[in-house]
Amino acid sequence: MTKFRHLIFTLPAAIGLTLSASQSFAQDPGDQPGLVADDSFQLDPEWQKQVVLYRTTEAPGTMIISTAERHLYLIQPGGRAMRYGIGVGRDGFQWQGLVNITNKKEWPDWTPPPEMIARQPYLPRFMAGGPGNPLGARAMYLGTTVYRIHGTNRPDTIGTKVSSGCFRLVNNDVADLYDRVPVGTKVIIRQKPEL
């Protein structure tokens, strides 16, 4: 009887340990190579592209990314901004700074950096651009960092903290933004909202 009780108490612990170990190797919900974006997905109005009032001393054409709000603002003349809903870095992967757009690519190829591969060993080492690529339809490269403003094949991640530090938009929005900004555009990344 004692052996039976020991088995009853040991079995749930073993199952729990197995489940927690398998979850640590589970795929990051934000990066799903090969998944083609669901174009019928409807963003919540909060994350849809729209013109908003926005007070700032920054010049028109400047981009301001607010990770706390999960919005990207492209400053327009007259105290306005084009606001886009974005997905941002998950906890521990958010950052702030001042950079410029140093490169732009349509349907970019994806080569995950070694640090990302170490965290997510199931990721491909290279993936050609296209509808199933996690970088989506466009990418704008930020300074000398490994980070980008890019599209996504997961529109359901907009408005969430899911990336490894990049900023993602739905493909229609990233294509719109891409056409509006040149290489050299000033990008301000803030973790806290401007007061």
Total of domains in the chain: 1
Give the integer Cα–Cα distance in Å for 68 and 97: 14
pLDDT at position 87: 97
Catalytic residue among 71, 104, 148, 150: 150
SS3 52: strand
Confidence (pTM): 0.81
pLDDT at position 40: 75
pLDDT digits (tens, 9 = 90+) for 162-188: 999 999 999 999 999 999 999 999 999
Query: In CATH, what number is assigned to the domain containing residue 129?
Result: 2.40.440.10
Q: What is the DSSP letter of 20?
A: H
1 or 78, which is more confident? 78
Q: pLDDT band at residue 105, thresholds of 50, 70 and 90?
A: very high
SS3 63: strand
Q: Would 22 be classed as within a structural domain?
A: no
pLDDT at position 192: 79
Q: Would 154 be classed as within a structural domain?
A: yes
Q: Would 87 be classed as within a structural domain?
A: yes
Alpha helices in the chain (DSSP H): 2-24, 114-119, 171-180
Catalytic residue among 81, 86, 166, 169: 166
Q: Is the pLDDT score of 77 beyond 90?
A: yes
Q: Would 195 be classed as within a structural domain?
A: no
By residue range, what is the domain housing residue 143?
32-190
CA 133-91-122 angle, to 5 degrees, is: 40
Q: Is the pLDDT score of 4 beyond 60?
A: no
Q: Would 7 be classed as within a structural domain?
A: no
Q: What is the DSSP letter of 21?
A: H
pLDDT digits (tens, 9 = 90+) for 16-61: 333 333 333 333 455 666 677 676 789 999 999 999 999 999 999 9
Q: Is 150 a catalytic residue?
A: yes
In single-letter form, the type of residue at position 74 comes to L
pLDDT at position 58: 98
Q: Is 193 a catalytic residue?
A: no
Q: Would 17 be classed as within a structural domain?
A: no
**Average pLDDT of span 100-119:** 94
pLDDT at position 41: 82
Q: Would 13 be classed as within a structural domain?
A: no
Give the integer Cα–Cα distance in Å for 145 and 67: 17
pLDDT digits (tens, 9 = 90+) for 111-168: 988 988 998 899 899 999 998 899 999 999 999 999 999 999 999 999 999 999 999 9
Q: Would 135 be classed as within a structural domain?
A: yes
pLDDT at position 30: 59
